[in-house]
Amino acid sequence: MAKTSRTEARRTSGSRGAGSRSAGARRAAKIRLIVQIFFFALIALIAVNHSLEEAGKAIPVLSSASLHAVCPFGGVVSVYQFITTGTFVRKVHSASFILMWIVFVLTVFLGPVFCGWVCPFGSIQEWFGKLGRKIFGRRFNRLIPYGLDRILRYLRYVTLGLIVYMTAATGVLMFANIDPYFALFNFWTSEVTLVSIIILIVVLLLSLAVERPFCKYACPYGALLGVFNLFRIFKIRRNPSTCIDCKACDRVCPMNIPVSTGGAVRHHQCIVCLKCTSEQACPVPETLELTTARLEASAKIPAKEATA
Ligand code: SF4
Ligand code: SF4
């Protein structure tokens, strides 16, 4: 019965316009790329405008704040100091606090869309990854042994704990001196340390072999937002009764999440890129979707709970 249902789903998926689905997939990928380019350009412009302002030549309509002032993670590391003294950590601005809350609300609903759609540092790693895919082919993003990769993925929680603790203890933005994201958009200024430039270069080189290495193994903000994947309202849900177990979703996931083994993705590294969904990689319509509703199983096929 289950087998028949899956065979039907396979047939239906083939006949229900593979052409229109691939057009939909291209459109979805294009929309995300446009959003990523928009935020990359915006942050680059703000960084350049900050330098122009110091020379008295800032573009009037554009923010000339330092990137620290418009980074939502600046709000996170300021929380302790704000609660205890009512002030922000040096270089952090009230705008960071507002952005922090906006990102939190968005993440409660949709998960870490900030990582998958907005963060320019995530985007540039992804773009280097496209080049890496050409160099390494199928081995791209599969070079690190599974066991080691699993352990390394928890490193970003160590980074998060250390940075929050040290910033609270010292009142200084501890991450600034080693932050590759800040280095990327300020490498021409004296505010950037040599260490952060070296880290930036290493991350970009690693991105040629591993998808989003900084996001996976080191990003403290990604670590925090990733926790929301456990209880976010809209989840990536799989319908086990129409799933044909082709594993296309697993293969396409940039964060190597075993999407096909569960009912809903709760993995702490999902970045909501939507590449796995029925609109993109999954060949069966309405089988893998971003939704609040559980996708009902019309035939009983055992599905492990997706916390992989
Ligand atoms: S491919 Fe799916 S599971 Fe993987 S990160 Fe993107 S949305 Fe999350
Ligand atoms: S892509 Fe994933 S969810 Fe879709 S049919 Fe294949 S294994 Fe199932």
> pLDDT tens-digit profile of 226-262?
999 999 999 999 999 999 999 999 999 999 999 999 8
pLDDT > 70? residue 71: yes
pLDDT, tens digit (0-9, with 9 covering 90-100), for 168-191: 888 877 788 899 999 999 998 888
| 206, 260: one domain | no
From atom 4 of ligand 2, which residue's Cα is the shortest distance away? 282
Mean per-residue pLDDT over the chain, rounded: 86
Q: How far apart are CA 138 and CA 195, in angstroms?
A: 32
Q: How far apart are CA 262 and CA 254, in angstroms?
A: 17
Looking at this protein, which amino acid is placed at residue 7?
T
Query: Cα(240) to centroid of ligand 2, in Å?
Result: 9
| 165, 202: one domain | yes
Q: What are the angstrom distances between the C-alpha of 116 and each of 31, 62, 298?
A: 12, 25, 32
**Which ligand 1 atom is at minimum distance from the Cα of 265?**
3
pLDDT > 50? residue 214: yes
- What ligand is nearest to the CA atom of residue 281? 2
Ligand 2 and 284: CB distance under 6 A: yes
| 102, 150: one domain | yes
Domain annotation covers residue 252: yes
| 76, 223: one domain | yes
Query: Cα(250) to centroid of ligand 1, in Å?
Result: 9
Which domain-ending residue is among 182, 208, 229? 229
Which domain-ending residue is among 229, 264, 283? 229
Which domain-ending residue is among 196, 229, 262? 229
From atom 1 of ligand 1, which residue's Cα is the shortest distance away? 253
| 77, 177: one domain | yes
Q: What are the angstrom distances between the C-alpha of 201 and each of 139, 159, 194, 210?
A: 22, 19, 11, 14
Q: How far apart are CA 200 and CA 204, in angstroms?
A: 6
What is the sign of the dihedral through the CA atoms of 266, 80, 193 and 62? Answer: positive
Residue in 211, 274, 290, 307 to alter for ligand 1 test, most ligand atoms within 8 A of Cβ: 274
Q: Model's pTM, two decimal places?
A: 0.86
Query: Cα(256) to centroid of ligand 1, in Å?
Result: 8
Total tally of structural domains belonging to the chain:
2
More confident residue, 209 or 94: 209
Q: 286 lies in which domain range?
A: 2-25+235-291
Domain annotation covers residue 46: no
Pocket of ligand 1 (CB under 6 A): 236, 252-255, 257, 259, 265, 270-276
Residues whose CB falls within 8 Å of the CB of residue 6, separated by 6 or more in sequence, listed in order: 242, 243, 244, 245, 301
| 273, 204: one domain | no
| 151, 264: one domain | no
| 182, 209: one domain | yes
Average pLDDT over residues 291-302: 63
From atom 1 of ligand 2, which residue's Cα is the shortest distance away? 282
From atom 6 of ligand 2, which residue's Cα is the shortest distance away? 246
Query: Token pair for residue 113?
Result: 């869309």
Pair 66, 44: CB distance under 8 Å: no
Pair 74, 68: CB distance under 8 Å: yes
Domain annotation covers residue 277: yes
Query: Token pair for residue 142?
Result: 């599969």
Query: Token pair for residue 69?
Result: 């002032």
| 225, 240: one domain | no
Q: Which residue has the tokens 């492990």?
A: 304
Can you tell me whether residue 55 is helix, strand or coil? coil
Domain annotation covers residue 34: no
Residues whose CB falls within 8 Å of the CB of residue 184, separated by 6 or more in sequence, listed in order: 120, 121, 124, 200
Domain annotation covers residue 102: yes
Helix and strand numbers (H, E) in the chain are 13, 2
| Among candidate residues 145, 121, 276, 297, the one with its CA nearest the CA of residue 213 | 121
| 102, 177: one domain | yes
Domain annotation covers residue 261: yes
Query: Token pair for residue 155?
Result: 């490193």
pLDDT > 80? residue 295: no
Domain annotation covers residue 58: no
| 188, 270: one domain | no
Query: Cα(298) to centroid of ligand 2, in Å?
Result: 16
Query: Cα(59) to centroid of ligand 1, in Å?
Result: 38
| 192, 241: one domain | no
Domain annotation covers residue 56: no
